[in-house]
Amino acid sequence: MARLSSASGLLVLCAMTEQLEGVRERDRLATMVALLPGVFVSYRLRPDGTCEVPFATPSIAEIYDLTPAALAADPRALHDLIHSADRDRVAAARAASARDLTPLRCDYRVSNPTRGERWVELTAGVMREPDGSVFWHGEVRDITECKRALVLEHDRLACFAASVPGAF
């Protein structure tokens, strides 16, 4: 059995310590992301038009009723849950972001099989990869209650305007 010199042993110990620190840092980051509100997701669109979701926080199930593993297996499931009336607008926003390499931001409805229709806000940074893929890292937030409040306020204002001649 070969013996390590004290210098070699020190190098091995340093490498193991760095590896352990990397694991600790990764665990801290995972905990932090899990505690933040919203969903954090990474989405890649390849030059051939295929896509993948290499990362999503577990909270994605609250909005889309899908697990990160399910999205990794079938990333098209995200598109299928976008409300049919919003799909073209979301696709156009994504295409413009990919073309111009500008941040992606859009609000749209999700047809959640368990929770019903939800409004979400997507905000993502974008970058082009060496192979020509476009990669977004971003956040999806449930804004359903905000949208409902806006509709109520709009209805109140319309009612007021209708009751006061010449108000608007």
Q: Is 162 exposed, middle or buried (0-12, 13-18, 19+ CB in 10 A)?
A: exposed
Task: Please write the tens of the pLDDT for every residue from 51-76.
Answer: 999 999 999 999 999 999 999 999 99
Rounded CA-CA distance 160/45 in Å is: 47
Tokens of 151: 């509709």
Residues 6+ away with beta carbon under 8 Å from 59: 34, 38, 39
Average pLDDT over all residues of the chain: 84
CA contacts within 13 A on the Cβ side of 12: 7
Q: Model's pTM, two decimal places?
A: 0.73
Segment 1-34, tens digit of pLDDT: 555 555 555 565 566 677 667 667 777 777 776 7
Q: Other CB atoms closer than 10 Å to residue 34's CB: what's the count? A: 11
- 3-state SS, residue 122: strand
134 DSSP β-pair partners: 45, 128
